[in-house]
Structure 1
Amino acid sequence: MALPDFLVIGAPKAGTTALHAALARHPALFMSAVKEPKFFLTDGPPPTRGGPGDAQTFREHVWRREDYEALFEKAPPGTLRGESTPFYLYDRGAQRRIHATIPDARLIVVLRDPVERAHSNWTHLWSAGLEPIGDVVRACAEEERRVAAGWSAFWHYVGLGRYGEQLRDLFKLFPPANVLVLRYRDLVDAPRATLDRICGFLGVETGVIAEVPRENVTAHPERTLRHQALSRVMRAGAAVGRHLPGALAGRLTESLEVALQDNGRPRRPLSWDERQALIPRFERDVALLHQVTGEDFSDWLRPRERSGGLMGDRPPGQRQARNGRPRLS
């Protein structure tokens, strides 16, 4: 059977797209052409209800077993096959399905400061015109209602960042030796060493790949009447699109996406007030994460970056670009 040997399972907005592209450059690794097939998120067809734009995402699910295996059929003999779906860590059903199907799978987890991750997630959807609330703190406060209404995981800004709970449950299924936990900041600050660590974990030659490809940092349109109007049209189009063929639905929203991003400035950093309002939502889980991994993540609960600069001095992507490092959205 053509199934993956390893999976990058989380977290969203923690550089998994860039990591997938980097690993694809290693001759001993074969990464699926579909970066995020989402196969293990369901036992069959994806849901039919969700939040704004979820219908298009559900169309992207590779949920049939034969289609999923086809993603790996062209892997050269002797290579390790892999895919990257960053929602697998968060979805407990996905964890169980992976274990039932590939019990010896090796799993790679990339963790990002949960407040920064939530903000990046919210910015992604706000910039696309799909997030109706123009304030990340208020949007996070809507999470329980959205979960109850069936909005997909990408809208779970807080839940996706509670890694302690997620890893606690994952380790009930997989031994720690099968799970590699990394920090997002290591991909940014030390890509060569981090990629070597991943290659060593997978049992392939180190020193072969040394760079993490650049990714575009999400633009942040101003909260103008024009953006609000286009966003309403985008959400209406997404609702209509669920009843249209995939290609037609894509054409319906493509021009709107371009217009929404037009003249968007770099991602707006978190303010002090926003960060301090969101930190309490993660405090207990950061303590649990320490218990589960034995590593200290208390820096995520401080209002300053590890370098000593204030949060919000400038967008993280700007600083990294000036230093010649990868910009990971």
Structure 2
Amino acid sequence: MALPDFLVIGAPKAATTALHAALARHPALFLSAVKEPKHFLTDGPPPTRGGPGDAQTFREHVWRRDDYEALFDAAPPGTLKGESTPFYLYDRGAQLRIRAAIPDARLIVVLRDPVERAHSNWTHLWSAGLEPVGDVVRACAEEERRIAAGWSAFWHYVALGRYGEQLRHLYGLFPRDNVLVFRYRDLVDEPLKTLDRICGFLGVERGVISEVPRENVTAHPERTLRHQALSRVIRAGAAVGRHLPGPLAGRLTESLEGALQDNGRPRRPLSWEQRQALIPRFEEDIALLQEVTGEDFGDWLRPRERSGGLMGDRPPGQRQARNGRPRLP
């Protein structure tokens, strides 16, 4: 069976795409060409309905076992095979499926300040014209309703950042020696040291990869009447696209999305007032995370992490266009 030996399992918006690209440069590692196959998120076909744009995301699931194994068929003999789906940490069912299929898997977890992660997640969808709420605090207040309505995990801005609950469940399934946990900031501040730590965890030669590629930052459109009008059309197009073939569904909104992001500014940091409004949603879980890991995450309760990082805020399923603008596939 061509199943992976290791997985980067979380968290979304914590540079997992950049980490995947960095690890793929190591000659002893083979990373799937499909960065985020999402195989273990379901037992069979993914849902067909959800929030705005979810139908396109569900089409990306490599849910058939044969198709998933085929992702690793080209791995040279002796290399370790891996993939990166940052929702596996959040999804308890996915954790159980991984345990059943690959009980000895090595799991890599990247944790980002949960408030900053939620804001980056919201910006990602806002810049795509998919998020109808123009304020991250109000969008987070919509979360329970959206979950009840079946919106996909990427809309779960708060729940995705409750790492204490997620790791407690994971440690009940896998030995701690099989799980490597580190911070997003480790990749930003000390990429060589962090990559060597990952290589040591995987048992491959250190010092071979030293850089984590940066991602282009998606523009953050202003909340204008034009943005509102274009976003409504994009969301309507996403709903219609649910009934169209994948490539055609992507082309339906591509030009509109480009127009939406033209002349937009990079993601702006949260204000302290916004951060104060969101921190209480994570306080209890941060305490649990400290108990589960034995590490101090108290800085996440203070004003904010400094700006700057490795990755942008690119809407789901996007790839980079020739002109540097993100676009839907």
TM-score (normalizing by structure 2): 0.94
Does 1:169 pair with 2:134? no
1:268 Cα shift? 1.3
Quote the residue 2:102 is aligned against: 102
1:247 Cα shift? 1.1
Quote the residue 2:14 is aligned against: 14
Quote the residue 2:194 is aligned against: 194
Q: Secondary structure in 1 aligned to 2:83?
A: strand
Quote the residue 1:48 is aligned against: 48
The CA distance in 2 between the partners of 1:263 and 1:228, in whole Å, is 16
1:238 Cα shift? 0.2
After superposition, the C-alpha distances for 1:45-94 in whole angstroms (9 at most, x for unaligned) are: 00011000000000000000000000000000000000000000000000
Quote the residue 1:5 is aligned against: 5
1:327 Cα shift? 4.9
Q: Secondary structure in 1 aligned to 2:180?
A: strand
Quote the residue 2:92 is aligned against: 92
Quote the residue 1:178 is aligned against: 178
Question: How many equivalent pairs are there?
Answer: 313
Q: Retained in 2: the 8 A contact 1:188–1:328?
A: no
TM-score (normalizing by structure 1): 0.94
**What does 1:161-310 correspond to in 2, within 5 Å?**
161-305=161-305
After superposition, the C-alpha distances for 1:267-316 in whole angstroms (9 at most, x for unaligned) are: 011011100000000000000000100000010001144xxxxx6xxxx2
Q: Secondary structure in 1 aligned to 2:209?
A: coil
Return the letter of the residue paired with 2:157.
Answer: Y
Quote the residue 1:24 is aligned against: 24
Quote the residue 2:321 is aligned against: none
Quote the residue 1:143 is aligned against: 143
Q: Secondary structure in 1 aligned to 2:48?
A: coil
1:328 Cα shift? 5.5
Structure 2: gaps (5+ residues):
314-329
Quote the residue 1:323 is aligned against: none
The ranges of structure 1 where at least 4 consecutive aligned residues each deviate by more than 6 angstroms after the TM superposition are: none
Quote the residue 1:61 is aligned against: 61
1:136 Cα shift? 0.2
Quote the residue 2:317 is aligned against: none
Quote the residue 2:320 is aligned against: none
Q: Retained in 1: the 8 A contact 2:41–2:94?
A: yes
The CA distance in 2 between the partners of 1:66 and 1:259, in whole Å, is 39
Percent of residue pairs identical:
87
The CA distance in 2 between the partners of 1:328 and 1:60, in whole Å, is 21
